[in-house]
Each structure stands twice: as structure tokens, then as C-alpha cells.
Amino acid sequence: MTRSPHPAARRVLLPLVGVACVLGAWEATLALYRLPAIVLPTPWSVATALADLITTRAFWHDVGVSLYEFAVGYAIGVVLGVAIGILMGERRHFRMAATPVIESLRFIVPFAWIPLTILWFGTSYTGKILLVAYAVFFVMVVSTARAVAQVEPTLSRVGTMLGMGSWRLAFTVHLRAAAPTLASAARAAAAIGWIAVVAAEYIGASAGLGLMITNAAASLATPVVIAGMFVIGVVGAGVSAAIGTLSRKWLDYR
């Protein structure tokens, strides 16, 4: 294989090619079907709408609300998920009692709970926070329990030999050994949690990115709708990358 003569240029150019393809397909669709701007605006008008959006205070408030709901829910979900996951991994009786509950609940996707959370908590932050926590919890609890139970048995015997009691063993050996698995689970959970926040805001919220988009759609401001969708994607990718980097930095020793 010959080495690329301009690796840096390729690293910049090839992603641009991907973006150009999408924009090209978008423009081609517009040209081919002569769609009105309300149905599908041009990329340029979406870009202008985005540029206008990010200069408004309301937009940043919406981003802030969505991120706040996400962050609180995510923290609750991760802490509870890891805690219950450790208990399930360490205590056979606890696992036997908890497994049927968790296995049946975890396939009730967060979105199925949206009507109930609106009924119970209205359009407040609480409903979204709980929804995110719920979504994140199940990802974390299942992978924690599995990862803790699958830790190399020699490591447990070593810990016991070194004089560790069962809880010390659980936290300093099992949890630590499971950390790389937890790091990738935490990242997957972030994606699901972010999706849950936005979806819940689409349906019932008093602020947030989802609400901003549904409002824009109601007033037929399609460029704003698409600009908002773009923001959801960018923020989500950013959150996921940040959590990935942080968790790798702290947890991954491989």
C-alpha cells in the first residue's frame, strides 16, 4: 500500500466530501421536485436561520434547559444504575429478586412513559429528569451487573488474600476492573438519555430544544425546525464525546 502524500489534507477533505454529498442530495431533491420552502427549505436558508437562532437569548435558554434536564437525570441514572448493578453483581439473592423486575421494565422504552410523566409532572423539568434517569439507569444497571460478575475470579481471590472484606473487594477490585466496560456503557447511556430528553420536550415542555422545534413547526418556520434538529445532533454528539473522553480518562486503564 502506498502512503497518502497529504495525510493532513485528506483528514480535512474527506469529511468535507461527506458533507458535500449530503448537501448536494438536498439541493438535488429541491431542484428535482420543486418543493416549496415550507416543506423543505434550502440549506442556505437553514444556515441563516441557525445563524439568527444562536444570536438570540431564548435559544441559549432552551439549550440550557435541555442540558440541565439531561445532566441531572444522567447523574441520577448513572449513580443508581451503578449502585444497583453492583448489588446485583455481588449478592446472588439480590440479583435473583431484582432480575425479573429489571428485565421486564427495561424493555418499556422511555418514550412509552412520556404520557404518564406528563400526567404526573406536567411540563415541568421533573418529568424529563426522571425520564432521562430511567433511560440511563437501565443501560447502566444491566452492564454494571454483568461486568462486575464477569471480573476475572483470580482478582477476587487475590483481593481476599490481601485481606479485603467483601465490600472493599466490590468497590476497589470488581468495580475498578469493570470500569472500562462501564465507561463505554456510560457513553451509550448518554446518547439514549439525550434522545429521551428531546423526545419528551417534543411532546410536553415549558422550555427546551424540543419545545423550540415544535413551536417553530407550528408557525411553519421550517428552516428553524431543521436548524433546531441540527443543534440537537451537535449537542448530542458533543455530550457523548465529552462523556467518552472523561470516562476514558478516569476509568480506562487499557
Partner 1 sequence: MTPSAASSIDERASAIDRAKQEVARNTREGELLVDRVFHRYSTFGRQTEVLRDVSFRIAPGQVACVVGPSGCGKSTLLGLAAGLLRPTAGTILWDGAPVVIGRNRHLGMAFQQPGLFPWMSVRKNVAIGLRTRGYPRRDARRIADEFLHTVGLSDFKDAYPSQLSGGMAQRVGIARALALRPRLLLLDEPFAAVDAFTRLKLQQEFKALLALTRPTVLFVTHDVAEAIALGDVIVVMTQRPATVQRIIPVAREERHRASAAYARKLAETLECLGVTSDMGDEH
| Residues found near partner 1 in the complex (CB under 8 A) | 152, 154-155, 157-158, 160-165, 168, 173, 176-177, 179, 253-254
In the complex, what is the shortest distance from the CB of residue 184 to partner 1, in angstroms, rounded to a whole number? 16
CB neighbour list of residue 244: distance below 8 Å, 6 or more residues apart: 183, 187
In the complex, what is the shortest distance from the CB of residue 38 to partner 1, in angstroms, rounded to a whole number? 56
CA atoms within 13 A on the CB side of 95: 14
In the complex, what is the shortest distance from the CB of residue 86 to partner 1, in angstroms, rounded to a whole number? 17
In the complex, what is the shortest distance from the CB of residue 161 to partner 1, in angstroms, rounded to a whole number? 4
Q: How far apart are CA 201 and CA 74, in angstroms?
A: 16
Specify the residue, 89 or 236, whose C-beta has the smaller distance to partner 1. Answer: 89
Specify the residue, 146 or 176, whose C-beta has the smaller distance to partner 1. Answer: 176
Specify the residue, 58 or 158, whose C-beta has the smaller distance to partner 1. Answer: 158
Specify the residue, 129 or 175, whose C-beta has the smaller distance to partner 1. Answer: 175
In the complex, what is the shortest distance from the CB of residue 183 to partner 1, in angstroms, rounded to a whole number? 12
Q: How far apart are CA 206 and CA 204, in angstroms?
A: 7
Vertex 209 angle, CA 230 and 124, to 5°: 160
- In the three-class reduction of DSSP (H, G, I as helix; E, B as strand; rest coil), residue 241 is classed as helix
> Are 210 and 202 a contacting pair, CB within 8 Å?
yes
> Are 251 and 179 a contacting pair, CB within 8 Å?
yes
Specify the residue, 119 or 158, whose C-beta has the smaller distance to partner 1. Answer: 158
